[in-house]
Structure 1
Amino acid sequence: MNADLFLLIYACLKAFLPLPSIEAVFVPLCLAAPTKSFYYAVVSGIGTFLGGYIGYELSVSYGRKVALKLVNEETLSEGEAAMQKYGAMAVILGSLTPFPDFVLAYLAGLCRMNRWLFLLLDGGCRFMRSLLVAATLSKASEFIAIEKYSTLLSILILVYFLGKYVIRKKT
């Protein structure tokens, strides 16, 4: 499977399943091919949009039942309260930060947030976040020979995100 398709599928799945952050795949790809960083940001944005749609629809169709398979009741209740209180701002802030994006899709569906508003905000903000990461890596490659250390950096990033994921799953 080529890297572009893998990134698209991973970004889509990450948007509605509790997988390690998209940066675990996106950053190593950008480091390996800095000239394709902005292209990877677009692919990541498309995947996130599609995955957000799937998560939203699952939540609307199956309600709390499907969300509780992924998070506990306390987390879900806190998230619903925040979503109802802050609405679109919660989606914007959650999408621009490393907040687990799969939670946003389910919360938006459970709270019956306008589907298109959610998709526009979530997909748009996650796309902007990917663009920012791509721009940062691109700029850094002008000053640092990133490609010289890209394999090591990629392994460190993957270990970090996978470790963080495993630790979070154990607690």
Structure 2
Amino acid sequence: MVDAILFPIPAFFLQVSLSALNPDNALWLATLGFAGCMIGTPIGYAIGRTSGYRLLRRFVKQEKLDRVESLFRKHGEMAILIGSFTPIPFKLFTVASGCTNFPLRKLMLYAAIGRAAKFYIVGLLFYAYGRSAEHMVHGKTLTFIMLAAGALLATVWLLMRVRRKRLNARPNAASKPEDLCP
């Protein structure tokens, strides 16, 4: 839970270490990590809403902060999805969402999709392959799996967005009664 708020060590490292010790508990650990993330996400969001700018200004220059805000307003959904898979601490995305007044329900939705995929991919690897999954996680295998999962989610998101734009751009033929008769 604290990974989504302020804890400096990402939950991923804790999940990998504990899953390597006892692979039979890997799915349970994935569930705990996911649930904790979902509890911590709105707390990180609230921190961003209330004091995020003061906090971020300590670490980021104003020009970069303005740029991040602009990009996050434009591509927040994609940032959250991709951020769920990167080694970048997820708390940056929750706090940034609050700072930019990104809708909380969208943050929760995209965080749920991305974080569930990340936690359960790791959990399933350890559950299926036992301790030998540790070599996959520390090697390039997990990187490729995460990139593929992130790319798949990003593609689905992009296709849904294009479809929604097409549906909104399509004129509604039955909107006026006089349009129905020649």
Aligned residues: 135
The Cα shift of 1:67 comes to: 3.0
Whole-angstrom distance in 2 between the partners of 1:14 and 1:43: 12
SS in 1 for 2:8: coil
Find the counterpart in structure 1 of residue 8 from structure 2: 19
Which of the numbers 120, 125, 144 marks the counterpart of 1:136?
A: 125
Find the counterpart in structure 1 of residue 102 from structure 2: 113
**1:57-80 residue CA offsets vs partner (Å, 9 max, x unmatched):** 1111224013334x3225534432
| Larger RCO (CA under 8 A, 6+ residues apart) | 1
Letter in 1 for 2:108: L
Find the counterpart in structure 2 of residue 164 from structure 1: none
Find the counterpart in structure 2 of residue 87 from structure 1: 76
**1:142-171 residue CA offsets vs partner (Å, 9 max, x unmatched):** 8x4x7xxx8xx8xx9xxxxxxxxxxxxxxx
TM-score (norm 1): 0.69
Corresponding position: 1:67 with 2:66: no
Work out whether residues 45 and 94 of structure 2, in 8 Å CA contact, stay in contact via their aligned partners in 1.
yes
Letter in 2 for 1:88: E
Residue ranges of structure 2 left out of the alignment (5+ in a row): 139-182
TM-score (norm 2): 0.65
The Cα shift of 1:83 comes to: 0.9
Residue ranges of structure 1 left out of the alignment (5+ in a row): 1-11, 157-171
Whole-angstrom distance in 2 between the partners of 1:118 and 1:45: 14
Identity of aligned residues (%): 21
Which of the numbers 31, 49, 53 marks the counterpart of 1:42?
A: 31
CA distance change for structure 1 residues 72 and 88 in 2, over 3 Å: closer, same or farther? same
Whole-angstrom distance in 2 between the partners of 1:75 and 1:30: 38
SS in 2 for 1:68: helix
Letter in 1 for 2:93: L
Whole-angstrom distance in 2 between the partners of 1:16 and 1:77: 22
